Structure 1
Amino acid sequence: MERSAYFDNAKLVLIFLVVFGHIIQPFTHGSLGMNTLYTWIYTFHMPAFIFLAGFFAKGLGNRKYIMNLAKKVLVPYFIFQVLYSGYYFYLGHNDWQTGIFYPHWSLWFLFSLFSWHLLLYFFKKMPMYLSVTVSLIVGLLVGYFGEIGHTFSLSRTFVFFPFFLLGYWLTKDQMMSMKRKSMRIGSLVVMAFVAVAIYIAPTINSGWLLASKSYIDLGMPEYGIVARLLVYVTASAMALSILLWIPSRENVFTKFGTQTLYVYLLHGFFVQFFRDNNLFKVNSILDFAGISVVAASIVLVLSSKPIQVVLQPIIEGKISLIRNMFRQVSKSQHKENLHVKN
């Protein structure tokens, strides 16, 4: 698809929040403010990210498309599952032997992404409203089945699928048409209300936002469907509110939003190292600002060209960047030789 500055900006903002949220997670237990911010971010950052993934899922769904998708998504999943297992072993974690189908860190997203494309093959044959309704019903009902959990990323696949499906159905024009002044003002009210509600409400089990546990595990075996419906409403309102404020014009940082997969796959190595060595503390506004800078730096470094050149064979299964680099060097040497001869 043709690149859009708006969607690249959106992906950059959201991947920053993913990294930032993972860094501040250890500090949420002793600080009401940090817990509020962390929970507030988690109400929307993955639903919005998944919505964008659905927007770009415009493939035909034939065999060739599925095979290419498997190469782009499942191969990196298996590679990084092994890499994270080795890394956890090096750090001395007891859970380093996690099975290949029990995703480490944030790798669940890759497994679910492949599954969403498979589901899309069937759901896109339905009318829009029917497909979204069915996906919501499935997402609400799976919580009653304790067997559907973290393994194969099944729970998250079904629970988050409605956001992916909405992204597939909505067009760019429809998204842009919502960026009206009245909608933006309303979005500020929504974001403020959710923040205040999180601050004054009893502690919220993060499992509701992570979507990886059954209603029994979350302590609501009977009425969990009501809680999940509330989570759906909150996540939808929050995701839309954030996306309404994403800049539509290209800026100096926009290009970094084109390589969010690199950041998503690699940032866990940094964050886990930070956690194991207790490198950061948040005791003041300066500490908070410092962590924000660290998160932004990780995003910018991991989405930079040098990282892409080195790791493209592993993450994308291609060597086009390396090939282009050698071509440019060869051309440069050729020009220098001609200049010397002349």
Structure 2
Amino acid sequence: MTPLLEIDILLYPGAQLAAAHGLSDLFSVANRMAAEHPGAALPVLRTRHFGADAAGGISCQLDSHPGATGQPSVAILPPCLGPLPADEALAPFTAWLGQRHAAGATLSSVCAGAYLLARTGLLAGRVLTTHWSLARDLGERFPELTVDADKLVVDDGDIITAGGVMAWTDLGLALVDRLLGPTIAADTARFLVLDLTRHSQQYFRRFTPVLTHGDEAVLKVQRWLQRDARHVSLAAMAAEAGLGERTFLRRFQQATGLRPTEYCQQLRAAKARELLELTNRTVDQIAWDVGYQDPAAFRKVFTRMVGLSPMDYRKRFGPRGAGERSREVADGAALL
């Protein structure tokens, strides 16, 4: 008899149903790909959806293989696009996750699902990822864990977390790789036209300065830098704040979580991204525009902060050049 590996998807309040059904479809495709290798004796992935029932408990609401028996191998928390409810409303779900983990299942989450996963108390000392915009808040709410929002997927054995809202595809392929092997994962990715090589969400991140810290002197400097962060010194920032340099340095880092030089680099990189996305200026011109006299230094800093070189970033996110559009017109004419 072909063994079944159970993958349970938990539909907690606010869970994105599109992701839950998308994962079910992905695992169904993986089963089809595995069936094309009968000699490999691969297991079948069984997908079940669990949600709250009328009695206040958690029960199965959808089963790809009804009536089958087996032990759960993986439990998945899909992403959530809205705020999670209060802790008491989530208590049955965290208890369910704890039971699944105690039974030997791997727990996994996508995007904001990491909040519910963190509430189980099973992540102390662990590293996980979530959507880049949620990383700071998640780390502050659960200081016992480490958030690495640059990574798209963090596989920590019995805990697997994925970053962005659409990273459920990356999590799904990672689970297929683990449960059915890399060949089936690659076949599944090709069938669904998914990129199996994505590893980072770093280049999707946008710098969002902290402006709610309550330090008026630091906030004054932040607003000043927002207007122009190209050529500023520590002395000039301290003078703008009306503070001594050592006091300003301490208060700025305490308020923003960054040293002033790091903060300015973030602002310059954000402006450079905008210019790479929306203009056809050369990389050297953009380097000068955002305050770097040495374009090579700009390239080095940009690549370290964004995860892509300026040219690679433009290829992925920038405008198509006139030459490319001309080639497309010529190619289209050749087909007529």
TM-score, length-scaled by structure 2: 0.23
**Higher RCO (CA < 8 A, seq sep 6+):** 1
Which one has the largest radius of gyration?
2
- Considering fraction of residues, name the structure with more strand: 2
- Considering fraction of residues, name the structure with more helix: 1
